[in-house]
Amino acid sequence: MKIGLIGLGRMGGNIARRLMQAGHEIVAYDRSAEAVQALAKDGAEAANSLDDVRAKLGSPAIWWVMLPAGGPTEDTISAIGEGAKDGDIIIDGGNTFYKDDIRRAKALAEKGVHYVDVGTSGGVWGLERGYCMMIGGDTETVNLLDPIFDALAPGLGTIPRTPGRVAEVVDERAEKGYIHAGPAGAGHFVKMIHNGIEYGLMQAYAEGFDILKSKNSDKLPEDERFDLNMTDIAEVWRRGSVISSWLLDLTAIALAKDEKLEGFSGSVADSGEGQWTIDAAMEEKVPANVLTASLFARYRSRVEHTYGDKVLSAMRFGFGGHVEMPQ
Amino acid sequence: MKIGLIGLGRMGGNIARRLMQAGHEIVAYDRSAEAVQALAKDGAEAANSLDDVRAKLGSPAIWWVMLPAGGPTEDTISAIGEGAKDGDIIIDGGNTFYKDDIRRAKALAEKGVHYVDVGTSGGVWGLERGYCMMIGGDTETVNLLDPIFDALAPGLGTIPRTPGRVAEVVDERAEKGYIHAGPAGAGHFVKMIHNGIEYGLMQAYAEGFDILKSKNSDKLPEDERFDLNMTDIAEVWRRGSVISSWLLDLTAIALAKDEKLEGFSGSVADSGEGQWTIDAAMEEKVPANVLTASLFARYRSRVEHTYGDKVLSAMRFGFGGHVEMPQ
Amino acid sequence: MKIGLIGLGRMGGNIARRLMQAGHEIVAYDRSAEAVQALAKDGAEAANSLDDVRAKLGSPAIWWVMLPAGGPTEDTISAIGEGAKDGDIIIDGGNTFYKDDIRRAKALAEKGVHYVDVGTSGGVWGLERGYCMMIGGDTETVNLLDPIFDALAPGLGTIPRTPGRVAEVVDERAEKGYIHAGPAGAGHFVKMIHNGIEYGLMQAYAEGFDILKSKNSDKLPEDERFDLNMTDIAEVWRRGSVISSWLLDLTAIALAKDEKLEGFSGSVADSGEGQWTIDAAMEEKVPANVLTASLFARYRSRVEHTYGDKVLSAMRFGFGGHVEMPQ
Amino acid sequence: MKIGLIGLGRMGGNIARRLMQAGHEIVAYDRSAEAVQALAKDGAEAANSLDDVRAKLGSPAIWWVMLPAGGPTEDTISAIGEGAKDGDIIIDGGNTFYKDDIRRAKALAEKGVHYVDVGTSGGVWGLERGYCMMIGGDTETVNLLDPIFDALAPGLGTIPRTPGRVAEVVDERAEKGYIHAGPAGAGHFVKMIHNGIEYGLMQAYAEGFDILKSKNSDKLPEDERFDLNMTDIAEVWRRGSVISSWLLDLTAIALAKDEKLEGFSGSVADSGEGQWTIDAAMEEKVPANVLTASLFARYRSRVEHTYGDKVLSAMRFGFGGHVEMPQ
């Protein structure tokens, strides 16, 4: 199929390449002419504007937008939508908030344009490993796009089949690495929860390694200390343990390079998806202590001292005369 | 009654003074001769060693130990116990772990010595307001000491009676500000939970003020900011609101002095009691998310970055190529 | 002043009464004619529709809307706004989400109508104790309404002044029990955080009493149990302890009636304000573990078993062959 | 090597089998004669008492104790220790608290007996996949036992090597699936943290699936619902996503059988290791919100309503007149 790919960053560029490797044609556009040229070298048709892309796409036009969520995606989809014709398809492969998908799909449907949201996991490894995709949209359109998703997905590969899985009951596409989760918004909703879980998994490992590492600390009495090796612990847990995972593999890679992780500041960013996950939990009245604590740990990592901490000290001073000085 | 008071710090000294104001006699001892002299000026009989205290006390000897929990208290009670006679009474008024009380009471009982643990709340305000006391020990001994507890407690004072409270059913001492909670250890157990709750209450206010204060922050888009006055907010909540409390009064005092609380570092200490409360919760299999989060917030306030935070960044780098630099 | 009071539930009715006691005139309207008649007996002027209220108010008309947040408030304010004239004032005394205030204020300002949001704390006790009020709106209007707020507030009363509070620097109204927190929305924002804190305080006490109560449980080995009296503990903590508060007073009242609290199901509701507080924390990137855990504890109290719990058991079955049967 | 294996439950029996498959000799003993016979059929030498095992082992005798932590393990090791000779080795392969290991190792060392603690992960899958082992003990003894650990470990197998791992710097055994973590206690300490992390990972998935599942709920307004398929979502996340893991594989297996997980009660047990992990975190003053929340979620899953919930309702009744009835 022929796809207009808008946004050629790390994710967008690799998606384009994986699609071309599977025989699809790419019309490539990015604000950066350099990025366009780089992809053109790899076989894409270069475009220098959205209009140019449109001119070069057939009918119906298929667009894959791979831009930062929020303003950039919103503006671009809005611009594409204005010039779109009945039957055209716009795919948002970024990290859009699912309620924005629902709104956009409704607006575009009024002029016969189909909107498909694709939550895409796989990071920088996707070009090689394939992308795990969670897709929202109307069934006819999602089915029409199947060759695209099939090309991007990892496929059955070497991951063993789930015992007891019965293809008649459940979606066979899931085994290849993509699902049609539901109507517009459902794809990004599932991806959002995926990222919320990711925060929780990461924080579980982080706390565990923190307790291990602090067991070596000279803040403990000498006879309570061990001299544990983080690098070997991460490695051994990859092998036969209950907590093996891809995130642990990544941790093991980092620790093999530097057990002290001194290259990292300890200030941890968060994308919006952790926050949206908590919003969803609250809308549904579902307790989500772990996912929330994971998000808050990142907020906390980015400030030295909170005003709240000072309020605590002020109370302590009030009732006990404690004064807490800078360490 | 005549009481040997060991440990004349802020708490011990004021307890001695309040007892003397009520007509009790104090034999005072502290490692610091200066502290002993200061109390002697206020009417106590000075002693220069534990043996000297013992010589000056009648029989049965009544000891009130008011020292830091752990080593100092343990050693002193051990030393007193060695020279104690059948019928003597040792009161531990500090913040001892309740299982240590149980152990000590058992050991001392073998030689006929009574052990009483008194969890004491009131901080530096106790001399004036009276102390709230939670007492563990055998009933006969606790009853015998009643004049001491009665003198230290706030008494009915101006705090309104609880509607519906029926003196025949419940302990009338509670209205005066002290209870006999149970056998040895029960006093400190109740005090320990009291402190655990205190952590939770404090953290609830701390988080609330943090959210209020951050609403003024220039990190927010300008049209999402307010210019809220912490000092006035603390004050107004003292007056007719559901969240009025003594801790809020203390917060209002601190904010009236300096809304920015710049004199405080934001590094917050914790005594052992928060930790013991969580231990108790876990022994009983009781979920205690709020009390635990309050304790952990203090741990977190005392480190700049955790190893766990760096583990998070290392994973993020692994799957997405994010590098998180020092802010 | 003459005020049209819309919504004569427990809060609205008592507010009307307290205003009339201070000499203000009330035009009263409620869907329930009975509620209107009840208030008319106490001196209010009865109205049978919003139009009727409008006809009976002077110019500028002052409205106090005291209805459940969401639909009822929105519809009523919308209806009042449609017929309002330049200079009229609409006060929302309910628990409205502060962003709705900002939106409404902006819309009403276009026709010269002033919108004031009043976060009101005090519950069923307010008629007698007075209401604590956090007010948002333009300064001129809030000042104009001062006689109303002054009448509703508790006033200086018996609550001691905060030492060190300097009237020139801070708002003297705070000492009487109301503040002008900022522009429209600021009042409800501060009230929202107030309620968020309230959740945290309540949960801290709840967990503490849970740990105390469970220490009596026959699930513990006999030699680890105490026989603690919840009623006396709540009472003694009211007297001289660091954790005394109005919420503790209420707990003591409940426990004095029934230590086992058997009249309560243990299923705990939440209004929207806890959730909005967490939303605000996330928008500001402020960690709020305690407030969030408090909210989630309520969600959890309302379901018997979560799907998440079953997912845990399913995994445990997977790796260890554990089967967890209904208890 | 010849090993006396005490405790032939699911774990002990499979460990014996895997050792025999590698050519080691097993002297097998269990309280259940049936279990001994079953293993004898698979090639073990049957014993009918600890003394009998001792008689059948060479010198130095090597014991592997695989019993429930606490009493059974303690009593058995104590009995073995009494009859042990200089140079004998006792391996505790169970889930012992690491401080018990330290105590035992010290006591046994006095008579020249070596104590080795082996934290063993792998569950019922270990016979086939191999066991991940974290080992504490003196270096000489651990090295001597290497053939045993080598036989039990998964070996390099199909798990890819960690890029950048340099064998000279780090322990090559880790790649085969076992590490010598440090002196006695260190093995079980690392295993304990492993289980703490496991709780956190499991709860992260549990909360995520709960939010997904509740998005289908008819408690939400119809236009806010999706109809998400848990089975397919678990499957697709196994394939190329950031959150793929062995625990997710197990979840996918369970969901493939029954998406509703109706065979599970939702009441989730915990072994002691989650609790010990939190204890360790508190001893080290490390915040561990996620691991703690995971443990508490299990506590909460096992009670219908907490006393704390009732305290909340009692307060709500106090300030607002709310009565919360059984749902």
* B283, amino acid identity: E
Could you tell me the pLDDT band of residue A323, with boundaries at 50, 70 and 90?
low
Strand-pairing partners, residue C90, are C63, C115
Q: Hey, are the CB atoms on B243 and C294 less than 8 Å from each other?
A: no
Cα separation, A173 vs B102, in Å, equals 64
Q: Is the dihedral of CA A26, A31, A35, A41 positive or negative?
A: positive
Contact B305, A243 (CB under 8 A): no
Give B176→chain A minimum CA distance, Å: 21
Inter-chain contact D296–B287, Cβ cutoff 8 Å? yes
Give the best residue of B273, B294, B309, B324 to mutate against chain A (max A CB count within 10 A): B309
The verdict on a CB contact (< 8 Å) between C265 and D206 is: no
- Write a three-state SS string for chain D: CEEEEECCCHHHHHHHHHHHHCCCEEEEECCCHHHHHHHHHCCCEECCCHHHHHHHCCCCCEEEECCCCCHHHHHHHHHHHHHCCCCCEEEECCCCCHHHHHHHHHHHHCCCCEEEEEEEECHHHHHHHCCEEEEECCHHHHHHCHHHHHHHCCCCCCCCCCCCCCCCCCCCHHHHCEEEEECCCHHHHHHHHHHHHHHHHHHHHHHHHHHHHHCCCCCCCHHHCCCCCHHHHHHHHCCCCCCCEHHHHHHHHHHHHCCCCCCCCCCCCCCHHHHHHHHHHHHHCCCCHHHHHHHHHHHHHCCCCCHHHHHHHHHHHHHHCCCCCCC
Contact D84, D152 (CB under 8 A): no
Residues of B in contact with C176 (CB under 8 A): 239
Q: What is the mean pLDDT of residues D223-240?
A: 96
Strand partners, A120: A133
Q: Residue D135 and residue D143: Cα distance in Å, rounded?
A: 11
Q: CB count, 10 Å around CB of D322?
A: 15
pLDDT at A322: 65
Contacts of D318 in chain C (CB under 8 A): 247, 250-251, 253-254
φ/ψ bin of B177: left (φ > 0), alpha (ψ from -120 to 50), beta (otherwise)? left
Q: How confident is the model at residue B152 (pLDDT cuts 50, 70, 90)?
A: very high
Within 13 Å, how many C-alpha atoms sit on residue A80's CB side? Answer: 29
End-to-end CA separation in angstroms for chain D: 62
The answer to whether residues D133 and D152 touch, using CB atoms and an 8 Å cutoff, is yes
Supply the mean pLDDT for chain A.
Answer: 94
pLDDT value, residue C128: 86
pLDDT of residue D126: 84
Query: Angle D115-D119-D125 (CA atoms, 0-180°, nearest 5)?
Result: 135
Q: What pLDDT, on the 0 to 100 scale, is given for residue A264? A: 94
- Comparing CB atoms, the residue among C275, C282, C296 nearest residue A288 is C296
Residues 6+ apart with CB under 8 A from D22: D147, D150, D151
| Beta-strand relationship, B62-65 and B2-6 | parallel
Interface test with A, best of C162, C273, C296, C317 (most A CBs within 10 A): C296
Q: How confident is the model at residue C152 (pLDDT cuts 50, 70, 90)?
A: very high
Q: Is the pLDDT of residue B20 over 70?
A: yes
- A4 in Cβ contact with A63 (< 8 Å): yes
Say if the Cβ atoms of C198 and B243 lie within 8 Å: yes
- Asked if A191 is an active-site residue, the reply is yes
Instruction: Compute the average pLDDT of residues B183-191.
Output: 98
List, in order, residues 6 or more apart from D151 with CB less than 8 Å away. Answer: D18, D19, D21, D22, D23, D24
Query: Which of D61, D9, D67 has the alpha carbon at shortest distance from D35?
Result: D9
In this prediction, residue C326 has a pLDDT band, given cuts at 50, 70 and 90, of very low
How far is Cα D199 from Cα A208, in angstroms, rounded to an integer? 11
User: In which band, very low, low, confident or very high, does the pLDDT at C324 lie, cut at 50, 70 and 90?
Assistant: low
- CA–CA dist C2, D228 (Å, integer): 55
Where residue A327 falls among pLDDT bands split at 50, 70, 90?
A: very low
pLDDT computed for residue B281 by the predictor: 98
Q: Decide: C255 and C261 in contact? Cβ < 8 Å.
A: yes
The arithmetic mean of pLDDT across residues B207-230, rounded, is 97
Mean pLDDT rounded to a whole number for chain D: 94
Choice between C307 and D10, residue whose per-residue pLDDT is larger: C307
CB contact under 8 A, D170 and A256: yes
Between these two residues, D140 and D166, which has the higher pLDDT value?
D140
| Confidence bin at D324 (pLDDT 50/70/90) | low
Are C296 and A289 an interchain contact pair (Cβ–Cβ within 8 Å)?
yes
Residue of B nearest to C235 (CA): B174
Backbone angles phi, psi at A190, to 5 degrees: -65, -40
Mean pLDDT for the stretch of residues A118-125: 86
Neighbouring-strand partners of residue A118: A135
Comparing CA positions, the residue from B67, B81, B71, B69 lying closest to residue B31 is B67
pLDDT in tens, A195-248: 999 999 999 999 999 999 999 999 999 999 999 999 999 999 999 899 999 999
Cα–Cα dist B278/B37, whole Å? 41
- Round to whole Å and give the CA distance between C135 and C93: 9
Asked if D261 lies within 8 A of C307 by C-beta distance, the reply is yes
Bridge partner residues of B116 (DSSP): B91
For C61-102, write each residue's pLDDT tens digit.
Answer: 999 999 999 999 999 999 999 999 999 999 999 999 999 999
Task: Determine whether domain B2-184 maps to CATH 3.40.50.1820.
Answer: no
Tell me what the mean pLDDT of segment A261-278 comes to: 94
- What are D266's two structure tokens? 């939702």
Instruction: Read off the pLDDT of residues D243-285 as tens digits, 9 standing for 90 and up.
Output: 999 999 999 999 999 999 999 999 999 989 999 999 999 999 9
Residues from chain A that touch D163, judged by Cβ atoms under 8 A, are: 253, 256
Q: Chain D interface, mutation test: which of B296, B300, B304, B309, most D Cβ atoms within 10 Å?
A: B296
Q: For chain C, give the percent of residues with pLDDT over 90.
A: 88
Q: With 90 as the cut, is the pLDDT of residue A47 above it?
A: yes
Q: Give the residue on D whose Cα is nearest the Cα of A200.
A: D204
Stated length of chain B: 327
What is residue D326's predicted lDDT score, i.e. its pLDDT?
Answer: 41
Question: Is pTM beyond 0.90 here?
Answer: yes
- A87-96 pLDDT, tens per residue? 999 999 999 9
D198 carries an active-site annotation: yes
**Nearest Cβ partner of C282 from A278, A286, A297?**
A278
Task: Give the chain B residue nearest D286 (alpha carbons).
Answer: B299
**Boundaries of every domain in chain D:** 2-184, 191-299
Closest chain C C-alpha to A287 CA, distance in angstroms: 5
Q: Give the CA distances from residue B146 to residues A244, B15, B220, in Å, rounded to whole numbers and listed in that order.
A: 61, 15, 58
Structure tokens at B116: 């009483």
- Residues B118-147 have pLDDT tens digits of 999 987 778 888 999 999 999 999 999 999
Backbone φ and ψ for D127, nearest 5 degrees, come out as -55, -45
Strand partners, C135: C118, C180
User: Would you say residue D79 has pLDDT above 80?
Assistant: yes
Q: Which of D278, D293, D299 has the CB atom closest to B286's CB atom? A: D299
Task: Check A74, A198, A235, A259 and give the catalytic one.
Answer: A198
A62-71, B154-163, B224-233, D54-63: least confidently modelled range: B154-163
Average pLDDT, integer, range C259-268 = 94
**Torsion angles phi and psi, residue B100, rounded to 5:** -65, -40
pLDDT band at B326 (very low <50, low <70, confident <90, very high): very low
- Spot the catalytic one: D25, D56, D74, D198: D198
Our CA-based measurement puts residue C79 at a distance from the nearest CA of chain B, in whole angstroms, of 27
Q: Say which amino acid occupies B262.
A: E
Phi first, then psi, for residue B26 (nearest 5°) are -120, 130
Token readout for D50 is: 């600890």
Which residues of B fall within a CB distance of 8 Å from A269? 316, 322, 324
Mean pLDDT, chain C, integer = 94
The residue from C25, C198, C235, C259 that is catalytic is C198
pLDDT band, very low/low/confident/very high, at C327 (cuts 50, 70, 90): very low
Catalytic, out of D45, D175, D176, D191: D191
Classify C191-299 by CATH class: mainly alpha
- Cβ within 8 Å, pair B240-C126: yes
Q: What local confidence, expressed as pLDDT, does residue B168 receive? A: 75
A56, pLDDT greater than 70:
yes
Contact D324 C269 (CB under 8 A): yes
Closest Cα in chain C, distance from residue B321 (Å): 23
- Supply the pLDDT for residue D327: 34
Which H helix or E strand runs over B19? Answer: helix B10-21
Sequence-distant (6+) residues with CB within 8 A of C179 are B229, B232, B233, B235, B236, C133, C134, C135, C171, C173, C190
- State whether B309 and A253 contact (CB < 8 Å): no
Contacts of residue B133 in chain C, CB cutoff 8 Å? 236
Q: Which chain D residues are Cβ-neighbours of A133 within 8 angstroms?
A: 236
Question: Which residues of A fall within a CB distance of 8 Å from D176?
Answer: 239
C88 near C28, Cβ under 8 Å? no
Distance between CA atoms of residues D224 and A123, nearest Å: 30
B192: which 2 tokens?
A: 């320990």
Which residues, in sequence order, are bridge partners of residue C121?
C132
